[in-house]
């Protein structure tokens, strides 16, 4: 079996098991990409709601929500956060160079529900991809099984050979700008088209990467619990040093 097929088989098996009830940053730049085909790195507007996860012993991770592109996914995450749903929950599954997964009140990957009292379909939002720092819902086979569980993609270097292999296996074609962005910032393109991306880490990606390296045991569970002390909805504050120029362009 080729190296690529081994990686893809592992990724698929991990997703199937890890995301049983759901799934399971590039550097999460706070600038625009300058590409109409990539929305992940568009900065939040001044006063726009973002979510801040305060993680015990680590610090704050700030997440931009894409209300326009992923309205149901964003609404679910924002309202669960506002209700205090995520307070005290853990990142129960961690895989280096893949993702960290949390949001399950059971802490096992088998629980959780949406604000609508069950599962919901967030679809596959246009122009959002699994770049490093992307935030998406875990599912158990389709986006119609989204609940409360979410994952954050951690950095994995991507090259043309890996992207070519995904295209061959999945019968898809990456847009040239998307391909170049994956090569620039990393991520997990194998997940594109199967999960609802609804957010992007805009600050605290170094914390996510640090968490992704913690020792794990059976079922990829961290040996020392990684706890979300508090999740809060708060208005974004525009950075006056940010430029409207496409300094993070994929072109």
**Mean pLDDT lowest for which of 14-28, 39-53, 138-152, 212-226?**
14-28
Res 29: pLDDT: 35
Which runs of E-coded beta strand occur in the chain?
A: 49-55, 59-65, 91-95, 99-102, 134-137, 150-153, 197-203, 228-235
User: Rounded to an integer, what distance in angstroms lies between the CA atom of residue 230 and that of residue 113?
Assistant: 18
Res 101: pLDDT: 98
User: Rounded to an integer, what distance in angstroms lies between the CA atom of residue 75 and that of residue 244?
Assistant: 27
- Provide, rounded to the nearest whole percent, the portion of the chain with pLDDT above 70: 80
Nearest to 88 by CA among 104, 110, 77: 104
Confidence band (pLDDT; 50, 70, 90) for 239?
A: low
- Provide, rounded to the nearest whole percent, the portion of the chain with pLDDT above 90: 79
Quick check: helix, strand or coil at residue 157?
coil
| Farthest-apart Cα atoms in the chain, separation | 52
User: Rounded to an integer, what distance in angstroms lies between the CA atom of residue 80 and that of residue 76?
Assistant: 6
Tell me: pLDDT of 23 over 70: no
CATH code for the domain defined by 3-235: 2.40.100.10
Quick check: helix, strand or coil at residue 202?
strand
Residue 80 or residue 2, greater confidence: 80
What number is the average pLDDT over the span 198-223? 98
Res 132: pLDDT: 98
Tell me: pLDDT of 3 over 60: no
Res 179: pLDDT: 97
Quick check: helix, strand or coil at residue 105?
coil
User: Rounded to an integer, what distance in angstroms lies between the CA atom of residue 18 and that of residue 33?
Assistant: 31
Tell me: pLDDT of 25 over 50: no
pTM value is 0.85
User: Rounded to an integer, what distance in angstroms lies between the CA atom of residue 242 and that of residue 92?
Assistant: 35
Res 148: pLDDT: 98
Res 240: pLDDT: 53
- What is the edge-to-edge ordering of all strands in the sheet holding 134-137? 91-95, 99-102, 150-153, 134-137, 197-203, 59-65, 49-55, 228-235
Tell me: pLDDT of 21 over 70: no
What number is the average pLDDT over the span 57-84? 98
Sign of CA dihedral 227, 88, 194, 69: negative
Confidence band (pLDDT; 50, 70, 90) for 237?
A: confident
Domain boundaries, the chain: 3-235
Strands 91-95 and 99-102: antiparallel
What number is the average pLDDT over the span 37-44? 95
Cβ of 241: how many Cβ atoms within 10 Å? 6
Residue 59 phi, psi (nearest 5):
130, -160
Confidence band (pLDDT; 50, 70, 90) for 164?
A: very high
Residues 94-148 have pLDDT tens digits of 999 999 999 999 999 999 999 999 999 999 999 999 999 999 999 999 999 999 9
Residue 34 or residue 112, greater confidence: 112
């Amino acid at each position: 079996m080729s190296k690529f097929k081994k990686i893809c088989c592992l990724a698929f098996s991990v997703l199937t098991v890890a995301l049983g009830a759901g799934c399971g940053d590039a550097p999460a730049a706070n600038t625009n990409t300058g590409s109409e085909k990539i929305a992940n790195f568009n900065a939040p507007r001044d006063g726009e709601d973002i979510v801040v996860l305060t993680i015990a012993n680590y610090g704050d991770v700030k997440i931009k929500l894409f209300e326009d592109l992923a309205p149901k996914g964003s609404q679910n995450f924002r309202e669960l956060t506002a209700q205090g749903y995520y307070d005290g929950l853990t990142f129960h599954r961690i895989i280096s160079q893949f993702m960290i997964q949390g949001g399950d009140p059971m802490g096992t990957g088998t629980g959780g529900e949406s604000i609508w009292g069950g599962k919901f379909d967030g679809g596959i939002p246009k122009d959002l991809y699994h770049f490093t720092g992307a935030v998406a819902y875990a599912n158990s086979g389709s986006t119609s099984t989204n609940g409360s569980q979410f994952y954050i993609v951690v950095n994995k270097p991507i090259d043309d050979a890996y992207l070519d292999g995904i295209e061959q296996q999945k019968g898809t074609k990456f847009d040239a700008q998307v391909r170049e962005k994956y090569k620039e910032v990393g991520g997990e393109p194998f997940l594109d088209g199967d999960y609802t991306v609804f957010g992007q880490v805009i600050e605290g990606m170094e914390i996510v990467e640090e968490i992704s390296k913690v020792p794990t045991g059976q079922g990829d569970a961290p040996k020392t619990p990684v706890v979300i002390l508090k999740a809060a909805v708060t208005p974004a504050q525009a950075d006056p040093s940010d430029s409207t120029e496409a300094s993070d362009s994929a072109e």
